Amino acid sequence: MSRGKTYRFKQHSVLPGFGLAMGFTLVYLGLIVLLPLSAAFVKTATLSWAQFWDTVTAPRVLASFRLSFGASLLAAVINTVFGLLLAWVLVRYRFPGKRIVDALVDLPFALPTAVAGIALTAIYSGNGLIGQWLQPLGIKVVFTPLGVLVALIFIGLPFVVRTVQPVIEDIEAEIEEAAATLGASRWQTFARVIFPTILPALLTGFTLAFARAVGEYGSVIFIAGNMPMVSEIVPLIIITKLEQYDYAGATAVAVVMLLVSFLFILVINLLQWWSRKRYTNLD
């Protein structure tokens, strides 16, 4: 080998080249995601603007929008707070039955949603394990918006825990020790050292929990009671219209739900990008 020559070796990837991989990706994404969504918009376009507006602004539909989005947002906030606490306990503490608790977090993933709805209804009914203690206090869960909130919290918790948990595991204990050495209190260490690190993952978990809750159906219909103007969710409105062969009306409600969900997720993703950029600049 002569001196002064530079040999370059082509780096091979296990997967196909960019062109082929991108082609497969776009075709798969188009068939699975874009085509069904496009069909919903195409079907909705068969309605006139007046028909579309009358459909999506009907009092019963508006009530279901308020319940679905309001309960989903509140459930995601609650799961963000307690999901962070649960993830912190699972990572930082050792206690008997820790593996069992860690496995129970994934239970809403594996449990069929209908089974979850029936179980929650049985537990929170007037003679249920928990409902019998709440009823004398005037707290009714089953067949109320509160029951919808309980179901959405149940199915959304694992998204926050499993998103935040690996980030907490990667935080080195030396960082907290250094902050304590410099005189920071526990709250200052959490607020200025730990929280900025886990904030992007926390926002991701919030987004996943919210998105999962908005489209939830199986675990909600049993505990909600499906009373119009009270505990009726948007997915049930869509199914009701489909059963009445009002396909254009069903897709119109679905399109509004899709657009509002997209805007929510877009705003959250922008906040996530802003938080990463801000704390990266601080570093």
The series of mean pLDDT values per 10 residues for the chain, 283 residues long, is 53 65 83 85 89 92 93 94 93 88 89 88 88 88 91 93 90 76 77 83 89 88 86 90 91 91 82 70 57
Please report, for the chain, the start and end positions of each structural domain, with discontinuous segments joined by +. Answer: 49-282
pTM (predicted TM-score): 0.84
**CATH architecture of the domain with range 49-282:** Orthogonal Bundle (1.10)
Judge contact between 214 and 69, C-beta under 8 A.
Answer: yes
Nearest to 231 by CA among 144, 142, 150, 154: 144
Chain center to CA of 247:
27
Q: Report the alpha-carbon distance of residue 233 to residue 235 in Å, rounded.
A: 6
What pLDDT score was predicted for residue 1?
47
HEC profile for 179-209? HHHCCCCHHHHHHHHHHHHHHHHHHHHHHHH
CB 146 within 8 A of CB 154: no
How many residues in the chain? 283
Let me know: does 72 contact 210? Beta carbons within 8 Å. yes
Q: What's the rounded Cα separation, in Å, for the pair 217 and 211?
A: 12
